[in-house]
Amino acid sequence: MIGRKQIQIKDNLFKMLDQLPVFVYIKAPDSSIPYGNSKFFEFFNNPKCCNCHKMTVSCETCESNLIFATLDPNKWIWGHCTNRTYVVERFEYDDISENTYLYSGIDISDIKQVEGVVHNIHAALASTYKVKKQVAASVCHEIRTPMNSILGMTQLLSKTELSSDQQKYVHILDLSSHTLLKFIDNMLDYFRLSANKSEKHEFDFNLTNTIHDINALIESRIDEKRLEYICHVESTVPNMLCGDENKLKQILINLLQNAMKFTEKGSIQLYVSKKKEDDSSVVVQFSVTDTGIGIPSYLQQDIFISFVQGNSHRKNEGIGLGLSICKQLVELMGGDIHVVSEEGFGSTFIVTLPFSKDSSISEKQEAIQAVDLLNQRSDIKLAILSVEDNVFNQEVINGFLPQHMITHVTTGNETLEILKHDMFDLILMDIQLPDMNGFELTRLIRNSIELDFIAHNIPIIAVSSDNTRGVREKCLDAGMDEFIAKPILYDHLYKIINKVIASSFNIQLKN
């Protein structure tokens, strides 16, 4: 009676297994299959040994070829004769005999096929996106070269005698050029950050000087809009810090320009305070507040997304990259940024950034004194070798450095040849030359046996439209002393030249 009941239970179990959407079969120790549900036979079409016709997954009797792959528990399986993919799980089943197992599996071939298609589509899209980014970045870099001539000539023209109308035209040209340059730089930053190719460059810097530089860049525009500008740095904030000064400038300038863009009347304020400090580090908070149009609450979560603006009015220039770049730069520096705003009542962007404390303040002050001393010496005339193949950029160099003796060459070979018999105090070198790149040329200057000791040690400043990740470091590794990105700004050029040669002139002045 009990045996009949067990048989009934087993029959009911097999009937239930027949209704399942997965295949189920029992494998005996001799690899025979005493049971398989309907899905099993549907999938594998009566699996039998090719020689002895024994129903099996692998015939040990005559060692014939496998009908389909031996099912390894919990692993993906390729069915040899069906070219399908299955996932199978094994369970112990001792009702028939020892070492008998029940297998349950599912055909995932269609899923794997879709995955393959999705993978191929994703790879194709990624490749297309990469090419588009490379093309766009290359275009931006190529634009920087003529921009160097435009901005350079504009700066030179502004220093000549002009009528009031001419001054207005030059001013408009200068503002438009800087707007275009900002767009180019934002696009390059976007490509670098989206490709994770931006990195921190931490150096000691003077926060007072940094804020002064930022104010100098934005005050003329604020005056034009007749806005009040308030800048306050709390006395508790350390002046000498160590961090990425350039990224800090970029963040604050972007935020201040954004505030100007959306403020028609009232004021803009930059407030700098200390959040916390220990023996080796300090956390500084920068707040940029405006009395502009404010940001609707429903947009405040999205304004840090690329190509999204907090206001859709077309009169506000820009493509919505500034705040996205700010957020990415802040996060790269280990900080935080958020906004507090009410529509119609202005906005406050709050940036919190960690810095190390400058441990070499006395050395920094000595270097500043050396630069100041050099600037005071109007009688110093440098012999400068300009390695630049663009004639317009040569004219910019001539105009920026009229009191110095400039010699222009256009190729690497010309540079090496002239250094054999002429002496120079400084080399301004473009990285991209017709016959060789600036890295190769610098190594030749530093190591060539055809040049003397003086030529080997001439200070070299790289001047290039390529300011992507690692280029400055690559220049320094090649033996250059500093790096300037095109377009060249008048004040920045003098600052870098002073930095490179200040120590040499300091020694001469002491004598």
**Nearest in space to 307 (alpha carbons), one of 460, 183, 407:** 183
C-alpha–C-alpha distance, residues 249 and 210, integer Å: 7
Residue 487 preceded by cis peptide, ω within 30: yes
Q: Computed from CA positions of residues 426, 430, 436, 439, in that sequence, does the dihedral angle turn out positive or negative?
A: positive
First to last CA, the chain: 120
**Nearest in space to 80 (alpha carbons), one of 88, 71, 68:** 68
C-alpha–C-alpha distance, residues 418 and 383, integer Å: 13
* Topology (CATH level 3) of domain 126-194: Helix Hairpins (1.10.287)
Residue pair 175/155 in contact by the 8 Å Cβ criterion: no
Residue type, 193: L
Alpha carbon distances (Å) from 337 to 67, 126, 353 = 63, 30, 9
C-alpha–C-alpha distance, residues 113 and 285, integer Å: 53
Does the reported pTM lie above 0.75?
A: no
Q: Which CATH class is domain 203-359?
A: alpha beta
Helices (H), 353-406: 361-376, 391-400
**CA-atom Rg of the chain in angstroms:** 36
User: Residue 64 carries which DSSP code?
Assistant: P
C-alpha–C-alpha distance, residues 40 and 18, integer Å: 9
Distance from CA of residue 93 to its chain's centroid?
58
Residue pair 427/392 in contact by the 8 Å Cβ criterion: no
Residue pair 134/197 in contact by the 8 Å Cβ criterion: no
Count Cβ neighbours within 10 Å for each residue of 318-330 and write b for 16 or more, e otherwise.
bebbbbbbbbbbb
State the helix-helix crossing angle for 164-194 and 322-332, rounded to 10 degrees.
50
Q: Which CATH class is domain 13-107?
A: alpha beta
- Based on DSSP, count helices (H) and strands (E) in the chain, helices before strands: 14, 17
Written as tens digits, the pLDDT of the chain (511 aa) is: 556 766 676 777 778 878 888 888 787 777 777 778 888 777 766 555 444 444 444 444 444 333 333 344 333 343 434 456 667 777 777 666 677 777 787 777 777 777 777 777 777 777 766 666 666 656 666 777 777 778 888 888 888 888 888 888 887 787 677 767 766 766 666 666 665 555 566 778 889 888 987 887 787 778 888 899 999 999 999 999 988 887 898 889 889 988 988 888 999 999 999 999 888 899 999 999 999 988 888 887 777 775 445 554 434 444 445 688 888 888 888 999 999 988 888 999 999 999 988 655 444 444 444 444 445 555 678 899 999 988 888 888 988 888 889 999 999 999 999 999 988 989 999 988 888 989 999 999 998 888 888 888 889 999 987 766 678 888 889 999 888 888 887 777 888 888 887 755 543 323 2
Count Cβ neighbours within 10 Å for each residue of 206-238 and write b for 16 or more, e otherwise.
bbeebbebbeebbeebbeeeebebebebeeebe
Helices (H), 378-466: 391-400, 412-419, 438-447, 453-456
The H or E element containing residue 495 is: helix 490-510
Alpha carbon distances (Å) from 13 to 91, 101, 116, 161, 417 = 15, 16, 37, 102, 94
Q: Write down the pLDDT at residue 362.
A: 43
Count Cβ neighbours within 10 Å for each residue of 246-262 and write b for 16 or more, e otherwise.
ebbbbbbbbbbbbbbbb
For 388-505, strand residue ranges (E) read 405-409, 426-430, 460-464, 482-485
The domain made up of 363-510 is a member of CATH 1.10.20.10: no
Q: Computed from CA positions of residues 309, 311, 313, 315, in that sequence, does the dihedral angle turn out positive or negative?
A: negative
Q: Write down the pLDDT at residue 412.
A: 92
Q: How many CA atoms lie within 13 A of 502 on its CB side?
A: 20
Q: Write the CB contacts of 163 (distance below 8 Å, at least 6 apart in sequence).
A: none
For the beta carbon of residue 243, count every other beta carbon within 10 angstroms.
26
Residue 287 in tokens: 């707040």
Residue pair 217/252 in contact by the 8 Å Cβ criterion: no
State the helix-helix crossing angle for 109-158 and 391-400, rounded to 10 degrees.
50
Domain boundaries, the chain: 13-107, 126-194, 203-359, 363-510
C-alpha–C-alpha distance, residues 429 and 419, integer Å: 14
β-bridge mates for residue 125, sequence order: none
Q: Write down the pLDDT at residue 138.
A: 66
C-alpha–C-alpha distance, residues 183 and 321, integer Å: 9
Give the Cα-Cα-Cα angle 45, 48, 50 (nearest 5 degrees): 115
**Exposed, middle or buried, 70 (CB in 10 Å: 0-12/13-18/19+)?**
exposed
Q: Write down the pLDDT at residue 192.
A: 62
Q: Write down the pLDDT at residue 190.
A: 66
